[in-house]
Structure 1
């Protein structure tokens, strides 16, 4: 009997020993010099190192995976966002403000617990060729490049080109007041079940030559949260429909984003975008995108609308190192004050030019 138990224990231990696991350290450092005009009431310009992002936000992270057998794997992600110019932490000063989660994956999809990217982020990934750059649609809606959820449970499954996913957050954003609009809403408040809740959903299809996606995202306010979502009865809803097509060395993407803010006053905005990436060589690529923002106030007027044009040239010095230059021009309407650069400033009703020369290193 003792021999049998010893043999069984040996088999069990051998099974654990054979389970494969790995941990990866990775990151991107992306910064440079930026310029934009009309930054002050007297028309002054600003030159310096950008504070929020270059072509993409700088980050470093740890990710791990362990094979549990039977087609199941355990994983975790810890991802930090920071400012290269000062070393300061982004995302409300959190150590792992970009992601901090653990989960289980299989052929049936993945289940994730913790702070994670929600379905708004996934919906934009393939169609928006510019991405979360210094000159991007984030100038109109800072939530878009920051579409992550605290205290969340998420599912993402991919089946023969079809992707379905969703997240549910019990308290969408515990950091505040720093960060994108309407933060400081940790939620999970006794007696107020809906305070700071958020749910997102995604349906997408991708093939070798084209793809389409649609997402739905609702966030609720809470007492003490940043205005205008300082009441659990208030909501902010994002709907996205977009797609892309690949034609040889060219990728074309386009989409529509509607944002409805139902708070003390109602505000509706529509963002339309179309862009393209062209690879002249494997090392040299060109990006261009046009973004139109239509903002309607309580009277239904387009009182703060604007148009942003973006051009970018990227050159790979190696597989991990890239230099680039980005140019953006913002056309503001009479009552609009949308900056051309993420985190920038502009005079109301004034057009603005922004230029950046950057260096990006991946590891």
Structure 2
């Protein structure tokens, strides 16, 4: 795997008569490598290639900013663009800022944001899903999970004494018409006379303590003219054209930290209700994983998954194992193996995938406005400080692996 990280911080203007502060951060991650995949086709042949989308985390660059408005109120924004290092093309269907594009207000009461952003499905799973958006993670069995974003969305999130509550409402989850996740089709938004078409809403309740945390969330998508539902087993996506059709997910999960080992797991239930040819389909996805630092700079983690799609008589079991080593300025994954055993309609297939990994480097470059100060200070971000120490904290490692920028908890920001 090869990371490139660039962070540039523009220092705010200070004066004796005002406490207002503005900042803009430029950040990015490049992640790629070489993978070997056995049983890559029906004949059982193997393939050696560069991954098309991601390695440990999806590659991206972005800008985030904040301005102090006074009275404990801040204006915030994030513009984040995904891209594929293999070919240099944009991700998320060719969108310029397909990962995130939102603006909002943040205060003691939480944050209210507007634009293209994550739904509560993603946030609820952020800590319990050990591997996150990894190339061999949960997205192999439900592509929506690492792509749980929607257009035209209003989001509220607030954290109070360890309890986080959140909700999102989208007036039309795919206004660009390029699809939010593979096989899902497009769904631009409501039309006159049908306010429910392409609507999406989600809600979350989450608790994070010192040694453990739990979360639950519900996410519901309504159908539209070109909308579809797809599953992992290769069955062709079937249409959910009516605004009365639903594609809903309910989840419950948790994690615990015991003697240096983090263990996480959960359940994700899905129910598709369609008046078309697909009918009603239910699935259940279970996952459990663990992470352990053998030394302060060498970690081993892994996760196992089981999914059952009842109406299609399809089921799969997948397991991934990962090891990574980090130092002050580099990050190396010496080996990476995923063993996947699937059974779909009585067919059995075993696939072994491994990655040959490169070097990861972290670089933070402080910048300052000309009028800010004569001698700008070195400004290292939280992630850069953690890597420079050579001992990444659990929060820093989660932030490195996460596919996001959180307006509530600055220690959890990805990129």
TM-score bracket for this pair, using the shorter chain length: 0.7 to 0.9
CA distance in 2, matches of 1:61, 1:157: 24
Determine if contact 1:240/1:255 at 8 Å carries over to the other structure.
yes
Is residue 304–residue 332 contact of structure 1 (8 Å, CA) maintained in 2? Answer: no
Q: Secondary structure at the match of 1:145?
A: helix
2:299 is equivalent to residue 285 of structure 1: yes
Tell me: CA distance 1:358–1:186, structure 2 relative to 1, closer, same or farther (3 Å). farther
Q: Which residue of 2 aligns with 1:46?
A: 47
Partner Cα distance (2:253, 2:137) in 1: 16
CA contact (8 A) 1:173 1:183 kept: no
Structure 2 distance, partners of 1:320, 1:108, is: 39
Q: Structure 1 pair 156/179, CA: closer, same or farther in 2 (3 Å)?
A: closer
Distance 1:120 1:16, change over 3 A: farther
The aligned residue for residue 126 of structure 1 is 127
- Conservation of the 8 A alpha-carbon contact between 2:149 and 2:180: no
- The answer to whether the aligner puts 1:236 opposite 2:252 as a matched pair is no
SS of 1:64's partner is: strand
RMSD: 1.9
Q: Deviations over 1:311-354 (max 9, x none)?
A: 00011133564435321112111428xxxxxxxxxxx6422111
| Pair 1:82 & 2:83 matched | yes
Does the 8 Å contact 1:28/1:361 carry over to 2?
A: no
Segments of 5+ residues of structure 1 without an aligned counterpart are 1-13, 337-347
For the residue of structure 2 that corresponds to 1:92, the secondary structure is helix
User: CA shift at 1:15, angstroms?
Assistant: 9.6
Deviation (angstroms), 1:283 = 1.1
Q: Distance in 1 between matches of 2:151 and 2:284?
A: 26
3-state SS in 1 of match to 2:32: strand
Total equivalences in the alignment: 336
Q: Does 1:58 align with 2:68?
A: no
1:126 partner SS: coil
**Corresponding residue to 2:283 among 244, 249, 269:** 269
Whole-angstrom CA distance in 2 between matches of 1:146 and 1:229: 19
5 Å-filtered alignment, 1:1-363, equals 18-180=19-181, 181-226=183-228, 227-263=238-274, 264=276, 265-297=279-311, 303-318=313-328, 321-335=331-345, 349-359=348-358, 360-362=360-362
Task: Tell me the TM-score normalized by structure 2.
Answer: 0.77
Q: Determine the C-alpha separation between the residues in 2 that align with 1:174 and 1:248.
A: 47
Provide the TM-score with structure 1 as the length reference: 0.88
CA distance in 1, matches of 2:16, 2:195: 44
